[in-house]
Structure 1
């Protein structure tokens, strides 16, 4: 694994710690393993023949190159994630109590008072920091050390304030403190990204964390009296299923009575007409969706609680790849997810959620028509995949 600091930034005073468990033993800090290393298996997404042939064609071209050369390509290198059974190694998850810790904004990188950089706070990412050893020493000697015990909910992608990464990388960290004493949990404070949008504050409230328990870092870094470092995943976008589902279930039951029967009857189209990466021929697409009784929703106009209720009632969710589609975590098992990918801009992480939730994941590729990834969708392809989805659902009933 690559060191998180570039060579030019490493000094004799700063060191990189690769094994927090050993460091904790040496200092007498509390270190608790929550889950051991595991392998998570994810199954292929479904599509129509036209898009499968498109993938095979481009995949064949890629096989002519070395892995290093393939990594220079765009989305094509990830086709196998969609169309093969894939195994992801999920590293050990843990929580560790670290006294007098410095937390770097916005990534959540942690540095101890002995000037040791905790590599395991980086979620497997390489990163450079601008702070030098002298600056870090000054911050530990500063009288502005924040008193109390803090949990950092920052991640490598905190700067993007991305709903998907908040769900997949940040919130699962809260599952690691569930076993703490209830009185101890009441006194915790939580570090969240600067400029946090409403869904961050709302999700924490649904999980029992009030706004006065949170702090948004506006400085380059802060130093806290005590830090609970929660590592819920080894890499961004690769959540541990156990922690992910624990938080999902808690969010769901905070809004919906656990004893109520949630019927899956709604067909939802998640529109991006008021966001970036629009579908340019959406009016044409809506004519098709109307025939199949889809309702059009705009997630950005809804509260998180409203989205939870809506998606918990869905039998089919269709839309472009984007934040709104990640609300599928609130759907019941057996829901059909139909994702429209721009050939030049797509990620397969929602397929991971579909596997966690036992959803049936489908996809089709649209054509990229602009530098900001606006998409044109072939109406015939869309209608074809919808007929397959509906046939699949009827054959199971």
Structure 2
């Protein structure tokens, strides 16, 4: 009861602070939010009689697409694939905002009039109206950058998948907006302590001395912010992002490899969670058909790209290593393994974008009712070998 009372008092205080005529630079949370960056741009135009200092550069227009359903051993497909069969990608853009601020490790953008930009300040699984910054009584002290800062940080951007598909594609949008990198003083990313982060930024010609990390500078204000939009809703990777990564990272690509390439199995045995419980049995079975076991965390991004580009069949439990499917050649057969309580269609989306032949298998265990999502993302997977054999026959692998 006491805990509940204290919580009510805290949020009453936050609500009061948000209504005071004082900036969140000093005390309290931002005042509100714009759902979309374009709303702020148009508001600024109106307020300043069409002479706004804010610039909005449209890159790709809104687009609706239809996806090919995956294949499995059952007659129907999991409901998560059904509901994402048709998807609408939002407009992508680059916005330029003088005296803008960025808060937190997810790259939350705050306008000079003390409001969030909702579409570039996403927290995974949270509506913008429930953003954590709106519940903060005081933000960290500001670090001022007397120059131009490009915002690349994104929710989950410390991890490989979100780094590859939410952070790096924003660099492509900067290029499409024809903003010279020489005009950008700093690039803001979630972090820069992992080898894949350093490697990919080097490949994209962004010098390490121009990088600042959100984890070290959780609240910055810049003379000018350059803000590429997010590529889209996380997990719904657009085709242009795939093309960008493949072009920039994959060396000596050849589409002639399919049909005579390697059979590979990507292991998660060295991961902290979502392992295949009976992986020894699974590998013993796959060995009969000359599958090679790969541990992607041991090799560079360029090497991972090379391995996946040379594969004609890929079997793997759901995990970040499958981000490298982006480097596969069209027609490569993909067999993704899930637990019953965590099905995620992001690699099916990726496979559709680059014309891979996608299949999936749900492991043993009680399946939840349709439209129920337990989201047990750490749950380990138990694979029925007979079911996998059946799926490999359907895919004409064996």
TM bucket (normalised to shorter chain) is 0.7 to 0.9
Q: CA–CA distance in 2 between the matches of 1:321 and 1:119?
A: 29
Counterpart in the other structure of 1:22? 42
Task: Please provide the CA RMSD for this pair.
Answer: 2.8
Q: Which residue of 1 aligns with 2:115?
A: 116
- Relative to the length of structure 1, the TM-score reads 0.80
Instruction: Measure how far apart 1:120 and its partner are.
Output: 2.4
Distance 1:184 1:145, change over 3 A: same
2:97 aligned counterpart, secondary structure: strand
Q: Residues 158-307 of structure 1: matches in 2 within 5 Å? A: 158=157, 161-181=158-178, 183-185=180-182, 187-194=184-191, 196-217=193-214, 218-252=216-250, 256-257=251-252, 263-264=257-258, 265-275=261-271, 276-307=273-304
* Deviation at residue 348 of structure 1 after TM alignment: 0.7
Which stretch of the first structure deviates more once superposed, 305-314 or 225-234? 225-234
> CA separation in 2, counterparts of 1:151 and 1:371?
32
Which of 44, 62, 67 is matched with 1:42 structurally?
Answer: 67
- Consecutive unaligned residues of structure 2, counting only runs of 5 or more, are 1-10, 22-30, 367-375
- Relative to structure 1, the CA distance from residue 198 to residue 184 in structure 2 (aligned partners, 3 Å threshold; closer, same or farther) is closer
Decide whether the 8 Å contact of 2:266 with 2:293 is kept in 1.
Answer: yes
Task: Note the 1:44-63 alignment, pairs <5 A.
Answer: 44-49=69-74, 52=75
State the SS of the aligned residue for 1:367: coil
Q: Which residue of 2 aligns with 1:312?
A: 309
CA contact (8 A) 1:174 1:247 kept: no
TM-score, normalised by the number of residues in structure 2: 0.80
Bigger mean CA deviation after superposition, 118-127 or 355-364:
118-127
How far apart, in 2, do the equivalents of 1:213 and 1:360 lie?
40
- 1:43, 1:85 within 8 Å by CA — same for their partners in 2? no
1:11, distance to aligned residue in structure 2 (A): 2.9
SS at structure 1 position matched to 2:337: strand
- In 2, the alpha carbon distance for the partners of 1:238 and 1:286 equals 31
- 1:55-108, Cα deviation, whole Å (9 max, x unpaired): 6xxxxxxxxxxxxxxxxxxxxxxx323257711111111101111111111121
TM superposition shift of 1:181: 4.8
Unmatched tracts of structure 1, length 5 or more: 1-5, 56-78, 393-397
Deviations 1:300-335 (A, max 9, x none): 111111101111111111110001112100001111
Secondary structure (helix, strand or coil) at the match of 1:147 reads strand
Counterpart among 345, 350, 354 of residue 348 in structure 1: 345
Q: CA–CA distance in 1 between the matches of 2:88 and 2:328?
A: 26
Number of residue pairs the alignment of both structures matches: 350
Quick one: structure 1 residues 220 and 128, their matched pair in 2 at CA, closer, same or farther if it must change by over 3 Å? same
Aligned pairs for 1:98-177 (under 5 A) are 98-123=97-122, 125-126=126-127, 127-129=131-133, 139=142, 144-158=143-157, 161-177=158-174
Pair 312,36 (structure 1): closer, same or farther in 2 beyond 3 Å: same
Q: What is the Cα deviation at residue 123 of structure 1?
A: 4.1
- 1:154-200 CA-partner distances (Å, limit 9, x unpaired): 11223xx2211222222111111113557544644211113642212
> CA 1:211/1:321 → structure 2, altered by over 3 Å: closer, same or farther?
same
